[in-house]
Structure 1
C-alpha cells in the first residue's frame, strides 16, 4: 500500500517537474514551430499562416496578394521579402522568429496574435510586446 502511494506521489512530482521545466526559461520560438522558407518547411500550416498574415498586411497597403495554398514558392518568398524590406529586417525570405513576430503582431489577430491559430505554427519569441510598432508599412 505504501509503495503504491509513493509511486503515485513520485509520478505526480515527475510530471510536475516536466511541466515546470518545459515552460520556464528564456523566451524562445514556439516549440515545434519551425522556420518557413527555402531549405525549411515548404508546405503545411506554417506556410499557410505566413501567406495568410502577409496577405493581410499587403491588403492594408494596396500590395497585390498571393495564393494561400500552403505551398512555399517564389511568390510567397517574394511577398515575405517585401514585408522584411518594409520593416527593415534582413530580407532573406525566411520566416524565422523575427519575421514571425511581426507577422503575428501586425497581421489578422484572429489568426495571429498570441492566442491565434498561427501562433502555434510560426516561429516567434514574441519580443514585440511593449516595443514601438509602426502603424504603416509603406
Structure 2
C-alpha cells in the first residue's frame, strides 16, 4: 500500500535565507543536503559547514546549488529549491531514492518537516 505526500510544504517549514526566521534544523538540513549533493555529484563547489547557522557561506552554497539545478540564484531556500534538495539530497534525511524514482523525497523524512517544498 502506498501513501501520498502533502499538497504543500509542512506548515512549520519556512523559507531559509537572510531576513527570514531560520530554524536551525532547517538550516542544517539545507547545509547537509547541499554538501551531500556537491560530494556525490562531483561538484567542485565548497561544501558549507553543517552547523545549523545561516550566514554568508550557507547563502553562497544555496546559490551554487541553485545554479547547478538551473534555478534562480537568489540564495533563498524556498519551495523550488526545497523540492530539488528533497529530490537530490541525502536519502537518509530526505527519503529520496533518486534517480530511481521521479518526484523526490517523502513526507515522513526528517528534512521534510524543515525544508519548504510544493508537495
TM-score normalized by the length of structure 1? 0.68
CA deviation profile, 1:30-84 (whole Å, cap 9, x unmatched):
2110000111133510100000100000112143311100000001010100010
Q: Aligned pair count?
A: 101
Partner of 2:68 in structure 1? 86
Seen in structure 2, the aligned counterparts of structure 1 residues 117 and 68 have a Cα distance that, compared at 3 Å, is same
The unaligned stretches of length 5 or more in structure 1 are 1-25, 127-138
TM-score normalized by the length of structure 2? 0.79
Alignment of 1:52-63 (within 5 A): 52-60=32-40, 61-63=42-44
Which structure has the greater CA radius of gyration?
A: 1
Of 99, 105, 113, the match for 1:120: 113
**Paired residues of 2:23 and 2:114 also in contact (CA < 8 A):** no
Hey, which of these two has a bigger chunk of helix by percent?
Answer: 1
The 3-state SS of whatever aligns with 1:123 is coil
RMSD: 1.4
